[in-house]
Amino acid sequence: MQTWSKKKNNNKQSNSKGPFQIGDLHSTSISSNDFNAKPDGKSLSFTLTHENASFLSIHYKKLDLPHSCSVTLTDENGGEEYTSTGKGLFNLGSFWAHHINSDTMIITLRCKNSGHIKNSVIDIDQYTAGFPIQDKLENNRRSLSMSICGSDDKRNAICYKNNDSSKYNKSKAVARLLVNGSGACTGWLVGRNLLLTNHHCIASLSDVQNTDFEFMAEENVCSSSRDGSWFSHRSTAIHDGVALVAKDSANDFALIRMESNLGDTYGYFELDNREPDVGEAIYIPQHPGGRPKEIAIYDSNESGGSCKVKQFHRGGCTGSAHAVRYSCDTEGGTSGSPVVSDSTNKVIALHNCGGACNGNMGVPVTDFYSQISEYLSNDGGSGGSGSSVCCNDSNVDCLYWKNLGYCSHSYVEYMRANCKQTCGVCQSESGGSCCDSNENCSYWKDQGYCSHSYVDYMSANCKQSCGVC
């Protein structure tokens, strides 16, 4: 088995204007020519290791596989598995693959037709090695003084599962984001298939397509100790975003359409379009430092011991017209979290800046509500089009993925949305042969994809939306 390894690198940097950096980026050159053959004659493998890395993420400069082939990423124990076919994610050919929570990644090329192995193109030009736990803790300390006042009062989300179930259940809609293989932020569902985060976390369609959206990444015990990294694999629910619906740098928001109606599984937050009251009790579910989910409810520096709104004033840290200051503890990686009213469980602000004892800050919903409200009113899983979604498959590899078990694990939401016929989840359809094969067709039509960029795909899979029946 071919193996490439690298010692840990302590020369890390953090980009304060982007996502919170939780790993080092390394240049490399790995191709299918570097893989070693397995005895079955139909598969090759390569092992990438980086000593003490808390996670590994690889970037495909080019991926182009024949129809009978697939490439699978696993950890050394086979506990995680992510498979790509063809040109991979969204047929991009070049993208960041889903991360593996280990310092060892096994990359396996399999072809049902052994003759296709030589025609498989795999070109990996970069990888990220997550900061080792001890180094990550040191890196976190540099951000704590800007975001935590006194002691850190945040607690693991699981602590509230029984004694404050309403907050815990609402927080299921909060996701951990790994952006472009190395940056950590937080996002949350604001509709059945819409997610909100900061613009300084995700600013482009490329960022959307190269982000791991991980839900239910939580510790399984309530403890004051934290693993301090992405090292412990707390979730198998990693999803993909498909479009950047709206964004604004001053109000520091990005609204993302997800691959399917994830809100039906995790729930979603409602927005409270009003000016927050000074003294109002709040809480913030978040993924600080890229760690498993924590919730800030209490603040030992405040009278009464609860997180509160401290100020509502003009001028936010990114240029928004207003800002909300509050006492909840946050950290790097908390960017994009919802600031939630304790009394209504509705979101009153989008967290985006630290401030420690002066008050951490967020953009009030009142500043950006008008920019996204039209999308929220249409959010029902089909983009508000009313078009018929075909009961068929939107990807030629659906049957292969079914045989890998993806109808029931790893990619269930994607398979139910895009491989309906193969997974047997069809419902009665009224559109006949003139229908759409993907629930996002109407949105893609609005982006102009019927006439540019993705014309062939749209003509074949979005017939009703594009009017080519």
State how far the Cα of 252 lies from the Cα of 333, in Å rounded to an integer.
Answer: 15
Residue 314 has pLDDT above 90, yes or no: yes
State how far the Cα of 114 lies from the Cα of 408, in Å rounded to an integer.
Answer: 28
Which is nearest to 63 in space by CA: 75, 53, 50, 72?
A: 72
The per-residue pLDDT for range 230-256, each reduced to its tens digit, is 545 566 678 999 999 999 999 999 999
Which is nearest to 53 in space by CA: 100, 98, 18?
A: 100
State how far the Cα of 115 lies from the Cα of 135, in Å rounded to an integer.
Answer: 46
pLDDT more than 70, % of the chain = 85
DSSP annotation string for 170-192 = HGGGEEEEEETTTEEEEEEESSS
pLDDT mean over 215-241 = 71
The answer to whether 201 and 218 have CB atoms below 8 angstroms apart is: no
For residue 236, the model assigns a pLDDT of: 63
pLDDT mean over 350-357 = 87
State how far the Cα of 15 lies from the Cα of 18, in Å rounded to an integer.
Answer: 6
State how far the Cα of 210 lies from the Cα of 204, in Å rounded to an integer.
Answer: 10
Residue 228 has pLDDT above 70, yes or no: no
pLDDT band, residue 444 (cuts 50/70/90): confident
More confident residue, 462 or 141: 462
State which H helix or E strand residue 43 sits in.
strand 43-50
Which ranges in the chain are annotated with CATH 2.40.10.120?
Answer: 148-378
For residue 389, the model assigns a pLDDT of: 62
For residue 114, the model assigns a pLDDT of: 86
pLDDT more than 90, % of the chain = 55
Which is nearest to 129 in space by CA: 28, 188, 57, 76?
A: 57
- Reading the block at residue 143, the tokens are 């951000």
CA 56 to chain centre: 16
For residue 13, the model assigns a pLDDT of: 33
Residue 386 has pLDDT above 50, yes or no: no
Residue 17 has pLDDT above 70, yes or no: yes
pLDDT mean over 89-115 = 92
Q: Which long-range contacts (CB under 8 A, 24 or more apart) does 301-309 make?
A: 301/149, 301/150, 301/327, 301/357, 302/327, 306/281, 306/342, 307/281, 307/282, 307/283, 307/342, 308/279, 308/280, 308/281, 308/282, 309/276, 309/277, 309/278, 309/279, 309/280, 309/282, 309/348
- Reading the block at residue 227, the tokens are 């693993």
Residue 3 has pLDDT above 50, yes or no: no
Residue 1 has pLDDT above 50, yes or no: no
State how far the Cα of 2 lies from the Cα of 49, in Å rounded to an integer.
Answer: 11
CA 91 to chain centre: 18
The per-residue pLDDT for range 165-190, each reduced to its tens digit, is 999 999 999 999 999 999 999 999 99
Query: What CATH number was assigned to the domain covering residues 2-132?
Result: 2.60.120.290
Beta carbons within 8 Å of 372's beta carbon, 6+ residues apart: 190, 196, 245, 246, 253, 255
DSSP annotation string for 338-373 = EEEETTT--EEEEEEE--GGG-EEEEEHHHHHHHHH
More confident residue, 379 or 49: 49
- Alpha helices by DSSP H, 250-388: 263-266, 365-378
Which of 133-137, 352-356, 388-392, 441-445 is modeled with the greatest confidence? 352-356
Lowest mean pLDDT among 16-20, 128-132, 262-266, 342-346: 16-20
Q: What is the mean pLDDT of the chain?
A: 84
Residue 2 has pLDDT above 80, yes or no: no
Q: How many CB atoms lie within 10 A of CB 225?
A: 8
For residue 380, the model assigns a pLDDT of: 46
Q: How many CB atoms lie within 10 A of CB 15?
A: 11
Which residue has tokens 């403890």?
223
Query: What CATH number was assigned to the domain covering residues 148-378?
Result: 2.40.10.120
At residue 209, what is the residue type?
Q
State which H helix or E strand residue 110 sits in.
strand 104-111
State how far the Cα of 80 lies from the Cα of 55, in Å rounded to an integer.
Answer: 12
State how far the Cα of 464 lies from the Cα of 459, in Å rounded to an integer.
Answer: 9
State how far the Cα of 232 lies from the Cα of 227, in Å rounded to an integer.
Answer: 7
Residue 102 has pLDDT above 60, yes or no: yes
The answer to whether 468 and 457 have CB atoms below 8 angstroms apart is: no
At residue 146, what is the residue type?
M
Q: pTM here?
A: 0.79
36-65: burial string, b at 16+ Cβ within 10 Å, e else: eeeeeebbbbbbbbbeebbbbbbbbbebeb
Residue 193 has pLDDT above 70, yes or no: yes
**Helix/strand/coil for 436:** strand
Q: Which long-range contacts (CB under 8 A, 24 or more apart) does 403-406 make?
A: 404/70, 404/83, 406/83
For residue 322, the model assigns a pLDDT of: 95
State how far the Cα of 271 lies from the Cα of 276, in Å rounded to an integer.
Answer: 12
For residue 234, the model assigns a pLDDT of: 62
